[in-house]
Structure 1
Amino acid sequence: MPLQNRRLSGIFALLVVTLVWGTTFPAMKALTANFTPVWIIFVRFAMAAVLLSPFLLRAGRGDLRSGMLLGLLLFFCFVAQVEGLALTSSNRNAFICGLNVLVVPLLGVLGGRLPEKRIVLALVLAIAGLTALCWDSGSWGRGDTLALFSALSFGVYVKVMEVRTQAATSLLSVTAAQIGTVALCSALWLLLREAPRGPEDIANYWTYLGQHTARYWINFAYLGVVATAAIISLQTWGQSRTTANEAAVMYSFEPGAAAVFGFFWLGEALTGRGWLGAVLLISGMIVSQWNSESRPAGALAPE
């Protein structure tokens, strides 16, 4: 595949990833009324891990190590994000989590490599769009701090993924390993921190979870099958064809998508300032692709 077509296909894949991720904010927000954040993460990633488990059978040690490292980072991203989502509005959570677009180029600067001018301009537009889209009144709270930690963790995750996917032997093996790691980490967290100890409490605990999980099975199925198994696989594939800076700008569109889906799902209104923010975000995405420099093709052929 020609280099330019390879990059464009990766960019389009990340655009789809971002749009679907936008739906997860209202989907998870609806679930936080009845479930703890870690239970939501566990069910979501356990379903995805089962679907992708066949790809672990032929995984090499290097891919398993990469997947475990990425999965550990991803677990902390999601714990902080969903914990924060339970304590604040989906728009505000999306705005603060969207600040991860600053983390990737900052890591590059700390490593002695300045971002390209087009990326700087795109980041300015993206941050302006995020601010216009999701700004609301109110003092800083614990939910905002958790969302900020999620943004920092996700920025590190994006940068590590850029390196690890370029050296991977099998993208789907890396993806399956990281999703399985998130499921395992969340299961351990539930056992150590949330599971009740007394026999009666245990019975009530599982009865409650069973009844409500069955009630919201469509939400969990969507989050596990579509938004996790399929989309993280697509993200891994797409990011192997783009730079971390370009991926960060593409991800900056996520709060815009979250605001749109939040309106239809949760009834959260999108104001004129919100539409302005969406336009600025899209502008940032376009600017990120102007006069882009070529980069070496990834070491991994698409599967």
Structure 2
Amino acid sequence: MTQQLRGIFALVLVTLVWGTTFPAMKDLTANFSPVWIILTRFAIASLLLAPFLWRARRSDLQAGFLLGLVLFFCYLFQVEGLALTSSNRNAFICGLNVLVVPLLGILGGRLPERRIVLALVLAIGGLAALCWDGGAWGIGDTLALLAALSFGVYVKIMEIKTRGAVRLMSVTAAQILTVAVCAALWLLMREVPRGTGLIEDANNYWRYIGGNLLAYWPNFAYLGVICTAGIISLQAWGQSRTTANEAAVIYAFEPGAAAFFGYFWLGEAMTARGWLGAALLISGMIVSQWNAERRPAAALAPE
């Protein structure tokens, strides 16, 4: 087996694992707030990637902090949206982030290429079919779209920052730690009961959280160890052995993988019209990336 073929198989595995994160997180939204899911997942990954912070360059840490700040809001929108819509619908809408990067060029005064116009037409048609199948557009869909926009901005910032990175894994470890810290601060400010008159509420709150963390530790271990820390390394290894076009086509099938695992994990099903919309969305993602400029190995966020 050639190195290129091994890289392709590695990226296929990355895409399949990414597809499982949507039903895995959806399964947790019934018992945890979105920020608790983000905090636990990224805290586990931070512990595993902590060695890459040892003697890290200051520039890498600064880049990781900025990226982590943006990435936190990416996941906040994504998981908030997951709580209000199905995992497969959320996945397909979040997958539109691949269209955001080329569209940012339009804001800079550049006319869109033909492939981008075609990709937008396919994506809009796909969204229309998907919503026709699963009900009217809702708040959860809007949050998923905001997540897609945020991920697109994140990819563009990552593209710039990784060019000057000394160690990509140091940047990655710093941003994942930043996401965990942001989530912890968000919880302290907005969710955790505080004040002398709320002692009983605080005790009940922590008993509830502690009990559910113990009950759902396999989900969190899977998300933190496999989907975040482990897949990052496999993604970088696979992308270094494949072309940008091959990687783009493989990644475009991530929402399809999410729909597949959503069916077996959560029992979520889509009609023929829904699958037509999904096919149009995936086609739009592939068209938008075909013959695009090569992106750095760490340009895509861990899903």
Settle same-fold status: TM greater than 0.5: yes
Partner of 1:55: 52
Say whether the 8 Å CA contact 1:95–1:134 is kept in structure 2.
no
The 5 Å alignment of 1:56-205 reads 56-114=53-111, 116-118=113-115, 121=118, 124-125=121-122, 128-129=125-126, 132=129, 135-197=132-194, 198-205=198-205
Pick one of 17, 20, 25 that aligns with 1:23. 20
Structure 1, 129-138 or 37-46: larger mean CA deviation: 129-138
User: Measured at CA, do residues 215 and 242 of structure 1 come closer, stay the same or move farther in structure 2, by a change above 3 Å?
Assistant: same
Counterpart contact for 1:67–1:178, Cα < 8 Å: yes
Q: TM-score, normalised by structure 2?
A: 0.82
Q: Which moved more, 1:171-180 or 1:270-279?
A: 270-279
Change (3 A) 1:103 1:12: farther
Task: State the distance in 1 between where 2:237 and 2:131 align.
Answer: 30
Structure 1 stretch 80-89 or stretch 270-279: which is displaced more?
270-279
CA distance in 2, matches of 1:89, 1:58: 43
Question: What is the alpha-carbon root mean square deviation over aligned residues?
Answer: 3.3
**Deviation, structure 1 residue 189:** 0.6
Q: Is the 8 A contact 1:62 1:168 kept in 2?
A: yes
- The equivalent residue for 2:267 is 267
Q: Classify 1:217/1:20 alpha carbon distance in 2 versus 1 (closer, same or farther; 3 Å).
A: same
Q: Distance in 2 between matches of 1:138 and 1:282?
A: 20
Shift of 1:154: 0.7
Deviation at residue 246 of structure 1 after TM alignment: 8.5
Q: Give yes or no for contact 2:68–2:175 (8 Å, CA) kept in 1.
A: yes
Contact 1:126/1:249 (8 A) holds in 2: no
**Which residue of structure 1 lines up, in the alignment, with residue 224 of structure 2?**
224
Query: CA 1:172 to 1:50, structure 2 compared with 1: closer, same or farther past 3 Å?
Result: same
Post-superposition offset of 1:13 = 5.6
Q: Which moved more, 1:16-25 or 1:125-134?
A: 125-134
**Does the 8 Å CA contact 1:132/1:277 hold for their aligned counterparts?**
yes
- Give how far 1:109 is off: 2.4
Distance 1:228 1:297, change over 3 A: closer
Q: Which 10-residue stretch deviates more, 42-51 or 190-199?
A: 190-199
Identity %: 74
Confirm whether residue 43 of structure 1 aligns to residue 59 of structure 2.
no
Partners of 2:45 and 2:165 lie apart in 1 by: 20
The AA in structure 2 aligned to 1:212 is N
User: Any idea what SS the aligned residue of 1:136 has?
Assistant: helix
Retained in 1: the 8 A contact 2:28–2:37?
yes
SS at match of 2:133: coil
TM-score, structure 1 length as denominator? 0.82
User: How far is 1:45 from its partner?
Assistant: 0.2
Distance between the aligned counterparts of 1:15 and 1:124, measured in 2?
27
Q: Is the 8 A contact 1:122 1:249 kept in 2?
A: no
**Counterpart-to-counterpart distance in 1, 2:82 and 2:29:** 8
Look up the equivalent residue of 2:226 and give its one-letter code: V
How has the CA–CA distance of structure 1 residues 119 and 74 changed in structure 2, closer, same or farther, with 3 Å as cutoff?
same
Per the alignment, in what secondary structure is the counterpart of residue 46 of structure 2? helix
| Whole-angstrom CA distance in 2 between matches of 1:68 and 1:76 | 13
Contact 2:123 2:281 in 1 (8 A): yes
CA distance in 2, matches of 1:141, 1:296: 33
8 Å contact from structure 2 (residues 81, 140) kept in 1: yes
**Counterpart residue type for residue 191 of structure 1:** L
CA contact (8 A) 2:80 2:143 kept: yes
CA distance in 1, matches of 2:126, 2:6: 25
